[in-house]
Structure 1
Amino acid sequence: MALLGLAAWSPAGAWAQAPVAPPGPPPGNGGDLPVPPGTAPSFVPPGSPGAIPGAATGPGLLGNAPIKLNRARRTFSVPLACQQSGSVRVTAKVVSKGPLARAGYRCAANRATARLRVSAKVAKQLVRRKVVAATLGVTQAGRSSKLYFQLRAGSGGKATTAFWTDGHLQCSDGSGVPQAYLVEPDFTTASPTPISTRGWIAWYTAAGGWHWLGVNGENAGRWDTWTASVSGIVQFHPGGAATPVPWTQGPVSVPAGQGITAVGVYEIVYWVGGKPDYQWQYVNAGTTGAAAAGGGALYCTY
């Protein structure tokens, strides 16, 4: 796999510099893993259509910039796209059963910064763990939503997420209609291994920040069960065919001319001895494998 590319596709066919940082971890942040799978299906089901809304659907993160704890002051700040002033609370299951911190924020020109402070006890645990998966519960105009990020309290920890070596977000079907297709990577393993996978299309607007579209709607994905092997996902290679026929999320309709940026993400759980090994990474936009070869594009823009 390669470092993240920054080019983007536009409906006019031109390549442009991407306007925003990547979205960071998908909904659940690795904390809502499926149960160990049973028997995997012998076929690939039809693709699932969907739609990205044109209007902002609520608050969103502005990107995957590191959220760092100021160890001396025990504080950290989370920048948001917002529509109204509201309040936030941060949780991290590995650190505490209850909220780590709470704060209000003032929204102006679709932007806000939530500034939070943790206790000395919590700060000590965060420093010991270095990086934790955190959830930002946002209440705005009486409506609650959850945003996901990594809270860093020291050097080291998990490496920056990059690209899967295949799979891709196809920006258009070539008809001129702005609709996307998220094509699942053909995951390989050294020996036959049950896996669970879940795909997302993250989309960004200046007014709404980053949001997540799964098979079942916004913030609503679905874990699928497959069998990975040395030649790829068995179900993608019927009769041992060399060329895979992968599962695809789409078509996903996208409003044109709204300044929408989209990126594909895939999660996977490798079930080894019944225990989960969880990972997530981006897929490139456009031709399969371009990112793994050191080029390619991360974003589709509409």
Structure 2
Amino acid sequence: MMMSFPLCGPHRLAPALLAALALATGLPAGAAAQAPQAPPGPPPGNGGDLPAPPGTAPAVVPPGAPGAIPGGTTGPGLLGNAPVSLNRARRTFSVPLACQQNGSVRVSAKVVSKAPFARSGYRCAANRATARLTVSSKVAKRLVRHKAVAATLSVTQAGRSSKLYFQLRAGQGAAPAAKGFWTDGHLQCTDSAGAPQAYLVEPDFTTATPTPVSTRGWIAWYTPAGGWHWYGTGGEGAGRWATWTATVAGIAQFHPDGTPTPVPWTQGPIAIPTGQGIVAVGVYEIVYWVGGRPDHQWQYVNAGTAGAAASGGGTLYCAY
């Protein structure tokens, strides 16, 4: 798929197929875990913490980054990427949460205000809460003008703060299309022996002309008690951007000496606790640097041993 500037794949899947996939659980047969209400939505930062323009890309692909998803519930989380919409008449909106005890929230968005523009407390019952928030008339007008903003929900629970990311809609336009899949790269659910160790394989991003890119991968994991959380190369909620050179044949570093079959960078093995109803999703972000300016995009990757196109569709979830 060609874009407005000379960029190409990995391509997205057809909109009709994406809509169907978004509703499907995609859980392997016999999985004990339950599918969440919706996939996780935007990764940490929500496109607002982009890296500096990249320097020199490495000559070879570095070793992968092993890690482990924390056991137990590590704090509050969103329940999925369901739309959060402003009630324009009442200037209110609500955000459902997975929680462990009562807490408070603050909502901010850089394009609306430098300081948080809404605050509220919530009561937690059966690991669920709804934070109900009200904004001023001034803020409501700004939200309506932008129609949709990347918002950050700062949650304080038991003296510990965490940040959750969502889209807040206030306009009358059509809702944005559901995020789809990169056509390669994947979240391998287990290792070759079937052990619960995940491997997040980077897509082989292509461009029509050699272009510097920054990429960052995430494993989002869901439990009924904790909602969605994010694991990156720096641990929970922390990821590092990598610098590469995208070409018409893919990431140059993945094709040493012009080898047609890529040897992509892989995050893993990532040990996954079993017996906790964990469901995991792989996500990759990319920043294309064109004329020194960033173009940020993110998509899910297929859960399986191949990219979404190669597997004839797309499967969102690994289950443990």
Q: Same fold (TM over 0.5)?
A: yes
Deviation at 1:16, TM superposition (A): 8.9
Deviations 1:182-209 (A, max 9, x none): 0000000000000000000000000000
Q: 1:220 to 1:82 in 2, by over 3 A?
A: same
Calculate percent identity across the aligned residue pairs. 78
Matches within 5 A, 1:49-198: 49-154=66-171, 155-156=173-174, 158-198=176-216
- Bigger shift: residues 94-103 or 171-180: 171-180
CA contact (8 A) 1:131 1:158 kept: no
CA–CA separation in structure 1 for the residues paired with 2:122 and 2:53: 40
Deviation at 1:158, TM superposition (A): 4.4
- 2:287 aligned residue: 269
CA contact (8 A) 1:197 1:268 kept: yes
Deviations 1:112-165 (A, max 9, x none): 000001111111111111110000000001111100000011223643221111
Letter in 1 for 2:51: P
Deviation at 1:283, TM superposition (A): 0.5
Letter in 2 for 1:27: P
* TM-score normalised by L of structure 2: 0.90
CA–CA separation in structure 1 for the residues paired with 2:176 and 2:123: 32
CA–CA separation in structure 1 for the residues paired with 2:217 and 2:256: 22
CA–CA separation in structure 2 for the residues paired with 1:168 and 1:15: 22
* TM-score normalised by L of structure 1: 0.95
- 2:234 aligned residue: 216
Paired residue total: 301
CA–CA separation in structure 1 for the residues paired with 2:146 and 2:195: 47
Unaligned runs of 5+ in 2: 1-11
CA–CA separation in structure 2 for the residues paired with 1:19 and 1:30: 23
CA–CA separation in structure 1 for the residues paired with 2:295 and 2:114: 23
Deviation at 1:13, TM superposition (A): 6.4
Matches within 5 A, 1:196-211: 196-211=214-229
Q: 1:113 to 1:217 in 2, by over 3 A?
A: same
CA contact (8 A) 2:32 2:277 kept: no
Deviations 1:20-76 (A, max 9, x none): 310010011111100001111111000100111220000000010001111111110
Aligned: 1:236 with 2:251:
no
Matches within 5 A, 1:17-28: 18-28=35-45
CA–CA separation in structure 1 for the residues paired with 2:109 and 2:120: 16
Aligned: 1:33 with 2:35:
no
